[in-house]
Amino acid sequence: MRRYIKKIMYFGMIQNMKYFLPMKNRLNKILWTLKSIHNNIKLKNKLYQIIFEAETPSGKMFDVILLISIVLSVICVSLESVDSISLKYGVLLRSLEWIFTILFTIEYFLRIWIIRNPFKYIFSFWGIVDFIAILPTYLLFIFNLQFLMIIRVIRLIRLFRILHLSSYIRGGQTMIIALRKSIPKIVVFLLTVLLFVIVIGTIMYIVEGPLGNNTEGFENIPNSIYWAIVTLTTVGYGSAVPVTAFGKLFASLIMLLGYGIIAVPTGIVASSVSRIETQNKPVDQTTNSNLKNVSNHIHELKDDLDRISRKIDSLK
């Protein structure tokens, strides 16, 4: 009887094992998946601190190495544009350029992989700059865009973040806001200047061109308009010079007028900057007053605590 019971128990255990083993395998797979996900998240967080955070020592070190690589890459591209250096060290410079490009490509895709919202980075200013920085090297197989790699120098703006130059960043943001607000006024101003230049060019064509003195450089209206732009901006290449008395007098008036015209866009942007700063000042004053009130309240609380502690000591 005991043997019979033992056999039944043995066969029962085998039956249970048939159901238990697949469940155990599934649980092991789930645990392994969860562990790999956990390790993946841990790795992403660590890389995020290194690549995106400039406050940590590892993040600062990464940014410094990145900036040194950018500077060296820009130097390589600049040296390769010199024929004598390119003939002697061309192979070495191109090899270094490919090494830097591969490093920047790895960095770009790591940034996409680490960040929670990849599209936010891809279509951000930094994402576009980082992509343009690596694109010309790969396009060398189709087009000769090698010297567009000099655009990598824009990435050196990260220096402001590393050196904690936040005041400069805020100043840059103020300038960008001021320029955005000034765009309609500047566009109207530029259109007015364009019409003015066309009128000046036409007058000079009549005075100095084939209809007048037939001076070299005023053979047609486009050339006369070009002369008007060069004169109005006070550049003065000297490729075309008026000869007649009226032409010289008119040119002198345009040159004097040019100084005033150059100052107009500067004044528009400056007024926008001052307006933004005056708008921000009340906010800063309110913040400072709130901080003072908080600090005074903290001092009062400290005094109260001291009095309470003294009373407790006296009761003892």
Domain of 212: which CATH number? 1.10.287.70
Model confidence, pTM:
0.53
The reply to whether 160 and 258 lie within a common domain is no
Side-chain half-sphere exposure of 174, counting CA atoms within 13 A:
17
| Domain edge (last residue) among 114, 147, 164 | 164
| Residues spanned by the domain of 149 | 52-164
The reply to whether 178 and 305 lie within a common domain is yes
Q: Does any domain span residue 3?
A: no
CA distance 210 to 224: 12
The reply to whether 77 and 110 lie within a common domain is yes
| Helix-strand-coil split of the chain, %, nearest 5 | 85, 0, 15
CA distance 74 to 149: 7
The reply to whether 249 and 138 lie within a common domain is no
The residue whose two tokens read 């000079």 is: 204
Instruction: Count the Cβ atoms, other than its own, within 10 Å of residue 80.
Output: 20
Is residue 211 within 8 Å of 246, Cβ to Cβ?
Answer: no
| pLDDT (0 to 100) of residue 5 | 46
The reply to whether 137 and 258 lie within a common domain is no
Q: Does any domain span residue 277?
A: yes
Q: Return all residues near 174 (Cβ < 8 A) that are at least 6 apart.
A: 273, 276, 277
Q: Does any domain span residue 39?
A: no
Q: Does any domain span residue 112?
A: yes
The reply to whether 223 and 112 lie within a common domain is no
Per-residue pLDDT of the chain (316 residues; tens, 9 = 90+): 545 444 444 445 444 555 555 655 666 677 677 767 767 788 888 888 888 776 778 888 888 888 888 888 888 878 887 888 888 888 898 888 889 889 989 989 999 988 888 888 888 887 888 888 888 777 776 666 655 666 666 666 666 555 555 555 566 677 778 778 888 888 888 898 899 899 998 998 888 888 777 888 888 888 889 998 888 887 877 778 888 888 889 888 888 888 888 788 888 878 887 877 777 665 455 555 666 667 666 767 777 676 776 666 666 5
Q: Which long-range contacts (CB under 8 A, 24 or more apart) does 169-175 make?
A: 174/273, 174/276, 174/277, 175/269, 175/273
Q: Does any domain span residue 17?
A: no
| Domain edge (last residue) among 102, 134, 164 | 164
The reply to whether 193 and 270 lie within a common domain is yes
| pLDDT (0 to 100) of residue 4 | 47
The reply to whether 145 and 245 lie within a common domain is no
Q: What CATH number does the domain containing 99 carry?
A: 1.20.120
Side-chain half-sphere exposure of 245, counting CA atoms within 13 A:
0
| pLDDT (0 to 100) of residue 6 | 47
| pLDDT (0 to 100) of residue 14 | 47
Instruction: Count the Cβ atoms, other than its own, within 10 Å of residue 242.
Output: 22
CA distances from 28 to 15, 34, 100 (A): 21, 10, 43
The reply to whether 178 and 242 lie within a common domain is yes
The reply to whether 173 and 160 lie within a common domain is no
| pLDDT (0 to 100) of residue 190 | 87
| Domain edge (last residue) among 130, 164, 198 | 164
Token pair belonging to 64: 């410094």
Token pair belonging to 205: 């064509």
Q: Return all residues near 185 (Cβ < 8 A) that are at least 6 apart.
A: 268
CA distance 314 to 312: 5
Q: Does any domain span residue 4?
A: no
Q: Does any domain span residue 275?
A: yes
The reply to whether 263 and 295 lie within a common domain is yes
Report the domain count for the chain.
2
Is residue 102 within 8 Å of 82, Cβ to Cβ?
Answer: no
The reply to whether 198 and 299 lie within a common domain is yes
